[in-house]
Chains A and B, each alone.
Chain A
Amino acid sequence: MNLIEMQIMFHQKAEAINAQFFDRLRPTSFEIVNYFNKAIDRYVRDKFLSLPTHEMRRNSVLAGMDVLRDMVEHQRATVEDTSGTLPFAFSKRIILPPDMLCLLGVYGTYSRSAVPPMTSDVVFSELTPMESARRLATSDADKPIYPRPIAALENEFNLLLIGDAYTTDITNIAVRYLRKHFELSFNYRELEGAADGADLTINSIVADTNYFRALAKGTYYSDPSTQITVQAGQKLVKVTGRNDMEGTSFPNWKQKIGAPYGMTDTPEFPEYMHEEIVDLGVQMFMDEAKLKLTPKAQSA
């Protein structure tokens, strides 16, 4: 169900509940979209994130993956080497994505010198509270062994990836997380290639230096001279002078993008959930409407 279909359903449901209310407080399209966005935020927060610990929130999100899968991002992390500045033999600070709601996993290419030796093995880190990670601190009396890296949230912006005394390197670090829902908006546009594998001209909806989202695998540029392979879901910035996105050669596969990045015209939930979002939006509208229609107490 796209945004217009949801808006129509909103009108129908609100009028069915109380036509008088709806006529008197008829919301604009902008207001209805706002109710939908608030309904989505409330739904995600109440159903998955209102739990006291990160571990519980993460488990809740993983259990609800069928509903939340479109909001799961997976991206290469921005990393700062902190080895030597913290009491750990090896540590790297990961700058967390600003749109993250819940961290699901961190992994990277891991090497260690011994017990057991590893050379560039892909290893998933273990998420743990920072207080527990202190046991990996090295000292004159301790050379701890922990054969996989530990990820500990340092604060709301950073995550520490900590290795034991035998860790030699962790590279290609990627984070997998639940991000905020893209904002429902009538400003969102999608552009699709004319034929399978055909190039797509993107400058008609994406202005230079603005972000857009690839919705199919293709080829674009990270700067005017560097061509990169783009995966579906990847965030891209429009490079000045680069107006075409090359399509893939897969059969039945048209090149497609959405812009601006961070917006959408369809809730990122499975189709069967959309009506529930509309219901929640209508309920929020009616709750507010009741407050607006309560007569003021007459002054004596």
Chain B
Amino acid sequence: MTAEEMQYNFELKMNTVYSITKPWQSYDIDQFLNRSQDDVVEDRYSPADGDMRNYFESNEKIRTELAELITNISITSFNSSDSARHQNGVFADVPDDYLFALQEECSVIYIDCNATAAYDYSRVKPITHDEYMMNKNNAYKSPYRELVWRMDYNSPTGDMKRHELITDGTYTISDYRLRYLRRPARINIVNGVDCELNSSLHEEIVDRAARFAASLLPQPENVEQKSET
């Protein structure tokens, strides 16, 4: 469904296609559609199902629906001078459209027993600040050559987020490969930017947008019911 078809479908559900007194402009409808799109992505990533929660990649349907948003990036430039860093930590800027990490891996360089530089791959483990404090001096749980810790940090510029990658100081990170779920592009009717999610989700996005828009319209006042004699 193109952006304009979404607008048509939205207006059809709101019963305003053939009404000259349209309550919403295209820009307003963009807002409803984008909010709805974000809700759909978040629900698919971690949908609540009664008391149970399903998670992304838990079944083929959800994998397919969000497949368009899976993106890969290789980060080779790190900030190692910021005063906010923890010991043995570096900051890596993640992209603006970053939403949720799916898989992380680092290439590391270390000096082997022959005193030459060697390369290896390390897993990346996201940890909380509490876990960092609890385990930073624990020899069995702290980072080593095949494990890098990752903590989250904000960026001083814009919406960009930073990942802080922490090693044990015996090796350096040369490449941080991040596979992530990105934020879908904003739907824009006037400029013709279509929804990039799987087409099977388009109808649901419009449905949710229409429901939300309808809730904002003034409701008719309750009519007093006639008492039956």
Interface set of A (CB-CB < 8 Å, partner B): 114-116, 126, 128, 132-133, 135-136, 139-148, 150, 166
Contact = CB atoms under 8 A, between A and B. Distances in A.
A143 B190 contact: yes
Nearest to B7: A145
Given A135-B20, A143-B190, A144-B25, 10 more contacts: A115-B8, A135-B22, A141-B190, A142-B27, A143-B4, A144-B26, A145-B8, A146-B20, A147-B17, A147-B18
A199 B16 CA distance: 55
A145 B27 contact: no
A145 B25 contact: no
Contacts of B21: 132, 135
Nearest to A148: B18
11 contacts: A114-B2, A114-B5, A115-B5, A115-B8, A133-B20, A141-B27, A142-B25, A143-B4, A144-B25, A144-B26, A147-B18
Interface string B177-215: 000000000000110000000000000000000000000
B40 to A, nearest CB: 22
Contacts of A135: 20-22
Contacts of A144: 22, 25-26
Contacts of B25: 139, 141-142, 144
Given A128-B20, A133-B20, A147-B18, A142 B4 contact: no
Interface in B76-96: none
B164 interface: no
B65 interface: no
Given A115-B5, A140-B190, A143-B190, A132 B20 contact: yes
A167 to B, nearest CB: 13
Interface in B8-33: 8, 11, 17-18, 20-22, 25-27
Nearest to B192: A143
Interface residues of B, number: 16
Nearest to A115: B8
A148 B189 CA distance: 20
Contacts of B8: 115-116, 145
Contacts of B5: 114-115
A141 B7 CA distance: 13
B124 to A, nearest CB: 43
A141 B30 CA distance: 10
Contact of A142 (B17, B20, B190): B190
A142 B26 contact: yes
B212 to A, nearest CB: 19
Nearest to A140: B190
Interface string B143-161: 0000000000000000000
A111 B122 CA distance: 61
B26 A141 contact: yes
Contacts of B20: 126, 128, 132-133, 135-136, 146, 150
A146 B189 CA distance: 15
A211 B36 CA distance: 64
B1 to A, nearest CB: 10
A132 B22 CA distance: 10
A132 to B, nearest CB: 5
A141 B2 CA distance: 17
B17 to A, nearest CB: 7
A114 B4 contact: yes
Given A115-B4, A115-B7, A115-B8, A143 B189 contact: yes
A50 B102 CA distance: 73
- A-B pairs with the 6 shortest C-beta distances? A141-B27, A115-B8, A142-B25, A143-B26, A142-B26, A132-B20
B14 to A, nearest CB: 12
A285 B121 CA distance: 111
